[in-house]
Each structure stands twice: as structure tokens, then as C-alpha cells.
Amino acid sequence: MSRQLTTQADEFLAGRPYSIIDREPSDWAGDAHDYYSVGNYSWPNPQTADGLPYIRIDGRRNPDAFSDRYDKRRFRQTVAAVNTLVQAHLRTGEARYADAAEARLECWFLDPATAMRPNLAHAAALPGQHDGAAIGQIEATLLTDLVDHVDLLVRAGRFTDGLPLLQGWFADLTSWMRSSELGREEELMTNNHGVWWDAQVLRYLQFVDDRTALTETLDRFDIRLRQIAPGGALPRELARPDSLLYTTYCLRAFAVCCRVAAAEGRDLWNAPAEPGHGSLRDAFQFWAEHGNDDRRWIWPRVLPDLDRTALWLADEAAAIYQTPSLKAFAETLRRQDLPAPEIPSTAAMEHIPT
């Protein structure tokens, strides 16, 4: 058992569960149960006395976006706590960790007095311009990791009574993503946002066992492959100020889609390239071949831009494609002292000594 894992789990045990209604007073007058945030790159306007309307500066993160006037920090901490506590329970068998994970699921998602409404209509606001945008759905991608941990908790014989209620919450969220104006706008995005829309919807549909909608979404996965240029580049991600971070992030979304498809007996990892485009194999090869040599990654970077999710992704792709470049990239990343991600992944469990 990793001492670091138990230390982190004990720190979460010492704190109370967060809820959506813990938000500090802000200028936004919406419902307390609606998730509300400003985008990471949203800033007060320096040319106006009141800072309105906010402006967006790509690649420059505003620390205030994580203040308790908004819900993003507490949302992320809730998911980090659940995932860490579940892993600690599985490693130790101690019920106190599972109890604490269940309490946090209850507080954020299920208790009518404290629960978040299952929508992201007010995420990524730009005050003075709008109180929520389609791109805000990207803030919920961490929920794909959460449901992985909920599945593990249920397999351990815990959370059996809460599971149907949580599945109902995710069914409602998925319905909102598939039918609302903001949800459909995000679905049509042709960068990492579109791939993450698929990744979220597919994982949630799998979690709630909606076989029909799951098949429908998988059947049109080819549109996501059209983001890959011949040779494997992801041009929309390379155009970002932190291009390696976003390339990795987009490939992580592709991997989620592929894992869900594999459980359905479908191999998206080796899906053929669309005419005039590269394949997913090409995209992972491009990432490995260029990311393994600072001289070859000629696009803008904002350091630090890699954590251990990059290593785990490289390991996964290397095991699937068995190419020397992916194996070499994984080994290069393994030799680096990469930080752990804020949101624990089930992939981390394979790297924790028992």
C-alpha cells in the first residue's frame, strides 16, 4: 500500500464533504444548485473600471477561476476525494474510506438539499458577456474518472443503494448534453472539445447502460477521426499556446472512447483513417515521435505541460500498437519525475505498490 495514497486519503477524511451550495456570494444570481464557473482563461477587462465584460486570454490561467465564488475548485476536489478514498478502500479494505467516498457522492450528487443539478448550462461564463458557454462542458471530463471509481466501489460490495440514484443523475446529465442547445453546440466542436463530448457521453451511457444511445454515438465516431491530419498531427491542438498539453489531452479523450468501444466488442484503436486524414494510430505515433525530442516539438509550449497521465497514456498506446516510438516515449516519460494528476485515475492503481 502506498504511504502517499493513505496520506492523501486521510487528509480527505479530515475534511468535510463539499456541496454545490457552498459557493461564496458572487455577482451571479442564479440558482444555488446550478454549477457555475468562469473559464480558466477568463479575465477581468483591464480597460474598464468594473472589469466587464470579461475577456479570454488563451493559455493564461486566472487563479480566481478556482476561488470559492465559483464551483470549479470544490467540484474538482470532490472528485479527487472520491477517487482517492475509493483507491484507499480497495488497497486497505478499511470501511472508513468507502464510507467517506459514499458521503461525498451523496452530498454532491444525490441529497436534494445539497446536490448539483445535472447540467453545465452555467459553466465557463464570461461575466458581462454570458453566464455560461458550450465549452464549459469540458470542465466535467473528470467525471469519466469518477464513474470508473464508482464501478470499482460497487464491485467491492459498496454503494449498492446509491448506485441507481447516481445512474439517474448521469442519465439526466447525458440527456442534457445530447439535447440542449449548448450540448449540441459542444458536440459539433472540431477540436478536443468534440472528442471529449464523445468521451463523456459514451462513458456515461455505458455507466447507465443505455445500449441504444451508446451504439448510435459509436456509429458516428468517424467524424472525430477527421480532426487528424495526414501523418497524425492534430492541427487544432498544435495551434494552442500549450500545444503539447492539448495534444495529450485530446488523445486522452480518444482513449476513453476506445476503452468504451472495446467493452462493446468494437476496435476504435485501429479504425481506418478517413479519406485525406490520418488514423488514430498515426496520431499516437506523431505524439510519441515528436514529444520524445524537444527539438522536434516545434510548436508553442507552456511548461510544465505533462503529468503522469501522459505516461499512463503512452503505456496504454504502446501496449496496443507495439511500436518502438511509443515504447521509447513511455520509457522517456518513466524516467522523468512527472507530477501526479490532481484527479486520480484508475490507471494509477497499476503503479501503486501493494
Using N-to-C axis directions, what is the helix angle for 324-334 and 308-321, rounded to 10°? 150
Cell numbers representing residue 123 in the block: 459553466
Decide if 149 contacts 87 (C-beta within 8 A).
yes
What's the pLDDT at 351? 52
Out of 2.60.120.620, 1.50.10.100, 1.10.287.40, 1.10.10.60, the CATH code matching 221-354 is 1.50.10.100
**Reduced 3-state DSSP string for the chain:** CCHHHHHHHHHHHHCCCCCHHHCCCCCCCCCCCCCEEECCCEECCCCCCCCCCCEECCCCCCHHHHCCCCCHHHHHHHHHHHHHHHHHHHHHCCHHHHHHHHHHHHHHHHCCCCCCCCCCCEEEEECCCECCCHHHHHHHCCHHHHHHHHHHHHHCCCCCCCHHHHHHHHHHHHHHHHHCHHHHHHHCCCCHHHHHHHHHHHHHHHHHCCHHHHHHHHHCCHHHHCCCCCCCCCHHHHCCCCHHHHHHHHHHHHHHHHHHHHHCCCCCCCCCCCCCCCCHHHHHHHHHHHHCCCCCCCCCCCCCCCCHHHHHHHHHHHHHHCCHHHHHHHHHHHCCCCCCCCCCCHHHHHHCCC
Per-residue pLDDT of the chain (354 residues; tens, 9 = 90+): 478 899 999 999 999 999 999 999 888 889 999 999 999 999 999 999 999 999 999 999 999 999 999 999 999 999 999 999 999 999 999 999 999 999 999 999 999 999 999 999 999 999 999 999 999 999 999 999 999 999 999 999 999 999 999 999 999 999 999 999 999 999 999 999 999 999 999 999 999 999 999 999 999 999 999 999 999 999 999 999 999 999 999 999 999 999 999 999 999 999 999 999 999 999 999 999 999 998 999 999 999 999 999 999 999 999 999 999 999 999 999 999 999 999 999 887 765 443
pLDDT, tens digit (0-9, with 9 covering 90-100), for 285-333? 999 999 999 899 999 999 999 999 999 999 999 999 999 999 999 999 9
| Domain spanning 1-194: CATH superfamily | Chondroitin AC/alginate lyase (1.50.10.100)
What's the pLDDT at 354? 38
What pTM does this model have?
Answer: 0.96
Whether 221-354 and 1-194 are alike in CATH topology: the answer is yes
Decide if 334 contacts 353 (C-beta within 8 A).
no
What's the pLDDT at 274? 95
What's the pLDDT at 347? 84
pLDDT, tens digit (0-9, with 9 covering 90-100), for 165-174? 999 999 999 9
Q: Could you state, in order of their start, the residue ranges of all structural domains in the chain?
A: 1-194, 221-354
Mean pLDDT, the chain, rounded, equals 96
Closest of 159, 8, 17, 15 to residue 75, by C-alpha:
17
Q: In DSSP terms, which residues pair with 125 in a beta bridge?
A: 38
pLDDT, tens digit (0-9, with 9 covering 90-100), for 251-298? 999 999 999 999 999 999 999 999 999 999 999 999 999 999 989 999
What's the pLDDT at 1? 47
Q: In DSSP terms, which residues pair with 206 in a beta bridge?
A: none
Q: How far is CA 89 from CA 97, 101, 102, 228, 294, in A?
A: 5, 9, 11, 40, 40
